[in-house]
Structure 1
Amino acid sequence: MGANGHVLPEKSSQNHLISGATDGREGEGETNERKVRLNGNIARRRPGKEMIEYWDKDLPGFGLRVHPSGRRTWFVMFRQRRKQRRVSLGTSRQITAREARRLARDKLIEVALDGLPTRKTDRSGSKQAPLMRDYAERFWADYARHWKPSTQRGNCGSIKRHILPAFGNRRVNEITKADVLFWRDGFAERTGTFNRTIPILSVMMTYAEKLGLRPRGSNPCRGTPRYKRKRMERFLSAREYGQLASALIDFEVENPLVVAAIRLLIYTGARCGEIEKLRWEWVQEPRLMLPDSKTGAKIIYLNRQAVSVIAMIPDRTASGLLFPSTRDPDKPTKLSMYWPDIRNRAALPDVRLHDLRHSFASTAIRDNISLMVIGKLLGHALAETTSRYAHLSDEVVADAAERVSGSIARLVGVGR
């Protein structure tokens, strides 16, 4: 028993924990409960028609919940400060039974020691680690300067809105993988937000290791899976390109600079921000020499059509923006303000500006240009980024194989 009355659960408390879990459940229906030795074999059992909870007979409070859908979640249940809590440890796909048992045991020990006097040093011998909310200020002062301004704004918001509310009152060296997995479960309806935030927390934990605030190699984010999301891939067909061309001709009367910018997106496959912020001093035909981009310095190669678009822009100067805002010539035009009107005129309401970049890659693949060359045209820093278009290449190869086999069939008389 700890100083504040917390007790590390023993085998005799198993029934109490199980009954507490069942009584506290709302709206989940009746659940079957079984005592077993939790291991990989149990985790591979077929799910039933009802939710089943397996409780470990050796480690009280450690359990596995099996949903009829097949989802299997490890958890640990305990009492802390007179309240019963259930902490998710991750799914059977994320962590093994052995790792889940270790996480559950660590959590139960942590609860049992809650309130007891602690030493002022952690295992690494460093001074007592600060609270996350205090450490965040030190981290930001040291690290944020290495990010671009737009990245700083996004990461600052993620730290304030998602990381500090969850971990702000925890000490930097106390955050465990179980805590991170439990935090992850709270983003089930905001999977994209979690996928963008977990790398920031991981960087914070790694930097804490370098400062001696956590033991080396203890980053609790390591191995935490991101949510799988369906990639939004939209490629324009030949007919849709025609629709868009007609809409641009129609809109050109109202705003020729916006139309010129969008045509550059179509012909170069550049990112929207790269064209919006394009400056005359970077135009060195037949190239655009960008000093900075999402992946660093970048060369955008201009084809004949892109060169023609730039040549038609009036009032060319030695420096300054190609597409300045009508309200403030020192600020770039925001194409996203005009795109909804243009795509509606083209009867393409589901097409995003970024889909013009995807369509550029799709067309290049249909023209038998290799993925390596496409990656250079798009300015991808990693080959893995270009590989998302590999399935389009497969379709081109399959079509070629079909044409070749058809020709051979005609030659041998099968097609007669």
Structure 2
Amino acid sequence: MIKAKLGPNRDSSQFPDVRRDRLNGNVARRTALTSGYIWDEELKGFALRHTATGRKSWIVQYRHRQDVRRITLGTFPMMKAHDARAEARRILASAALDGLPTRRAQEPADAALRFADYVPIFWAHYTHHWKPSTQRANRHYIQNHFIPAFGERAIASLTRPDIVAWRDGMARREGAFNRAIPVLSVMLGYAETLGYRPHGSNPCKGIARYKRLLKERYLSAREYQRLGAVLLEWAATRPIAIAAIWLLIYLGARKGEILALRWEWIGETYIDLPDSKTGPKRLYLNRQSASVLAGLGRQSGGRVLGATFGPRQLDNAWVEIRSAAGIPDVRLHDLRHSFASVAIGHGISLSKVGGLLGHALPETTVRYAHLADDMIGEAASRVSGSMARALGLVP
């Protein structure tokens, strides 16, 4: 939800292409793709804003003391007309009561609001916190898991037994439950903020996730040799895909980071990514990765792998390459795991490995702790063997 403070003298009559209508879904769909506002003829302050690019947003405008304020409720068609109208009515009512004494509520506002009706309200308010890829994933969880399970239930009525029962029903989809439960927790927590649930009533808190074995695959030295031979052999026919894979191998980066890489982010010794899964991130250039970039022909701007090369092209190439290298079970992300494995094998500490991989939290790097333990165990065996030989206990 975006708020704008327009100042004391701005009103709807000052905007171009202003007209009034009874706002509904049909009006929103028929609106011509020119910039302007359509103000609702029934609910004063409720409007549909449309731009020349085709973007359409529901807004509500009201006076707060000496200022005129405008709030963007959500975009069409993600937010339906009746949901936008209900939210605008709520905001206008709240603004009208501003400064007046009110009786303390004894129960959450609109305690009968259904979960399915809460979804567009939550989406309009909260999703600007998420990146587009996260929005797509979370929309899937909402549509395919939450609404079928809780859609007809009042948002205020959901309890811990309801969440436990849903968890038990997801026993055969453990991974999906583990990824979805944090999203549901955010939704119910935000419902408390909006007054749809009592404060401190989030039933998702303390719900245990399923314990799962992480699928990790590390390349051996021999597998690295076979992969390297295939990459060299295919370099002439698949130059962009091969360059992307070399960068994944040498930098330990995520696939999306390499696909989005731009020339202006690359310096002499670092690659400074303005955004990544964990926020701004620095990749450390080495001689091998710098050589790969040089082979692509450095430009002043634009994407390193070109404007048309994307995930599908890389994934399709990798399926063929890994098959030719005799490693059909290796995923592109396993190249990142293998990078960490090689680093630990060379005595690099877990904290430094986390820095190389760009982990935001130390706990993320702990998944590689067993590799460090194995290396320390081997070192201990070599030390004890040398001592035994020095004591004459072994030949």
**When the two structures are superposed, what TM-score results if normalisation uses the length of structure 1?**
0.68
Question: What do you get for the CA RMSD once the two structures are aligned?
Answer: 1.6
Matched, 1:322 2:304: yes
* Identical positions, percent: 54
Instruction: Describe the superposition over 1:245-287 as per-residue Cα deviations: whole angstroms up to 9, x where unpaired.
Output: 0111122121111111101110110001100111111111211
- What pairs up with 1:14-413 in 2 under 5 angstroms? 124=107, 126-314=109-297, 316-324=298-306, 328=308, 334-413=313-392
2:108 and 2:156 in contact (8 A); partners too: no
3-state DSSP of counterpart to 2:282: strand
Amino acid at match of 1:393: A
Runs in 1 of length 4+ with deviation above 2 angstroms? Answer: 121-129, 331-334
- Residues in 2 aligned to 1:226 and 1:236: alpha-carbon distance in whole angstroms: 30
SS of 2:272's equivalent in the other structure is strand
Q: 2:111·2:155 contact (CA, 8 Å) conserved in 1?
A: no
Aligned residues: 292
Q: Alpha carbons of 1:219 and 1:363: their partners in 2 closer, same or farther (altered >3 Å)?
A: same
Name stretches of at least 5 consecutive residues in structure 1 with no aligned partner.
Answer: 1-120
Deviation at 1:129, TM superposition (A): 3.8
Query: After alignment, is 181-190 or 162-171 more displaced?
Result: 181-190
Structure 2: distance between partners of 1:293 and 1:395: 31
Deviation at 1:333, TM superposition (A): 6.8
Instruction: Confirm or deny: 8 A CA contact 1:362 1:389 kept in the other structure.
Output: yes
AA of the residue aligned to 2:287:
R
**What do the CA deviations read for 1:309-338 (whole angstroms, capped 9, x no partner)?**
111113x2111111126xx36x67741121
Distance in 1 separating the partners of 2:306 and 2:135: 24
Q: 1:303 is matched by which residue type in structure 2?
A: N
Alpha carbons of structure 1 residues 297 and 134: separation in structure 2 relative to 1, 3 Å: same
Q: Separation in 2 of the partners of 1:157 and 1:395? A: 40
| 1-structure distance, mates of 2:122, 2:248 | 38
When structure 1 is superposed on structure 2, of 353-362 and 126-135 the one drifting more is 126-135
SS of residue paired to 2:187: helix
Judge conservation of contact 1:324–1:332 (CA < 8 Å) in 2: no
The alpha-carbon deviation at position 122 of structure 1 amounts to 8.6
Letter in 2 for 1:397: I
> Shift of residue 149 of structure 1?
0.5
Give the SS at the match of 1:404: helix
Counterpart Cα distance in 2 of 1:399 and 1:334: 41
- TM-score normalised to structure 2 length: 0.72
Cα distance in 2 between the residues matched to 1:173 and 1:155: 21
- 1:125–1:389 distance in 2 versus 1, CA, 3 Å: closer
Letter of the aligned partner of 1:362 in structure 2? Answer: S
Which residue of structure 1 lines up, in the alignment, with residue 66 of structure 2? none
Retained in 2: the 8 A contact 1:287–1:301?
A: yes
